Structure formats: structure tokens, C-alpha cells
Copies of this chain bind each other. A is one copy, B any other.
């Protein structure tokens, strides 16, 4: 019989992903070598190839599972029915989720150009599906007469850019607690969609 499957592999695999994510976020995909990742894991470079077919796929896996985690977390979130409550919930969710995974957010936004065309298309598809969720909320709000929005598509992109920008400057233990910051953003998002 085979050895209990992956007694070490199950330890090493996430280590590889963690190290790669942290290093890619810090220095950029192209600037990080497989040897650096290996050193962080405590292993020789060749051993990494038991966990990824190549460097490019390692990057893609990180991005894809970031998006998958995003949808999974979102599904676990309460979905109110009235548009304004849903918008607020989206804002809160987006901020909380993204702040918990700054490295993954950074890598997912910065390293798109290092993906092969097919891998890029896959990530782009997932991202626009997520954007679609916000857009649907906006459309519902407009239909219900609660939002005043001239163009839902553009408003969606503007809101997401505004919210995600938070990840570039937020530091734990900063001037304001996260709850207050979130409340500020909820209010700004409301303002941007014309809620008075």
C-alpha cells in the first residue's frame, strides 16, 4: 500500500502557496524566483514542482482560489431583499473580505498581465461575475426608485475601485477603527448612487 497520502505534502502544499503569495505581493511575480519561494518553504527549488506544473500556474492558482474564496464567502453572507440594505451589505462585505486578504488582492490586481491568455480570461470572467452582483443591486435599486444612477455599469466599476483602494492604505491599529471606516464608506457609496 502507499504511504498515507501526502503526510508531508499536505503540510508543504499550503506552505508553498503562502510563501508564493506573500513574495509575489511584496516583490512582484517576475521579481520572485522559484528558489526564493523554496527557501521560504524550507525546501529545494526542484521540490516545488511536485506542487505546481510551473511558476505561471502557481500564480494562476493563487488568483483563482482567491476568486473562489470570494464567492464562497459572499454566499455565506446574509442577502437582504431591499436594495439599499443589499448595497450596504455589499459594501461591508467587500471591505471586510478584501482587508483580510490584502496580499491576494494585490496580486490579483497587479499580476494579471503575467497570466497566459486563457488563464487571464478565466480570472476576468470570475471578476466580472462578481461585478455583476453589485450591478444587479444597483439596477434593482434604480427600478425600485431608491437609487439615482445615470449608468449602472460605470457606477459599479467606480464603487469597486473606491472600495478596493482601501486595501492600499489601511493598516491595523491606524487612526480609525475598521467599523468607523466601514461606516464612512457605506455613506460615500450611498452618496455615489444618489441616496439622500
Instruction: Using CB atoms and an 8 Å cutoff, list the residues of chain A in contact with chain B.
Output: 26-31, 110, 113-114, 150-151, 153-155, 157-162, 164-166, 168-169, 175-176, 181, 183-185, 187-194, 196
**A194→B194 CA distance, assembly (Å):** 9
CB-CB nearest in chain B for A193: B191
- Taking CB atoms, residues of chain B closer than 8 Å to A150 are 183-184, 187
- The answer to whether A155 touches B184, judged by C-beta atoms less than 8 angstroms apart, is yes
CA distance A165 to B95 in the complex (A): 17
**Cross-chain contact B176 with A165 (CB below 8 angstroms):** no
Number of copies: 2
CA distance A102 to B151 in the complex (A): 23
> In the complex, are the beta carbons of A184 and B151 less than 8 A apart?
yes
Given contacts A28-B30, A150-B183, A164-B165, 15 further A-B contacts (CB under 8 A): A27-B113, A31-B114, A153-B175, A155-B188, A157-B166, A157-B169, A158-B162, A158-B166, A161-B166, A162-B165, A162-B192, A187-B194, A188-B192, A190-B191, A196-B196
Assembly CA distance A114 to B32 (angstroms): 12
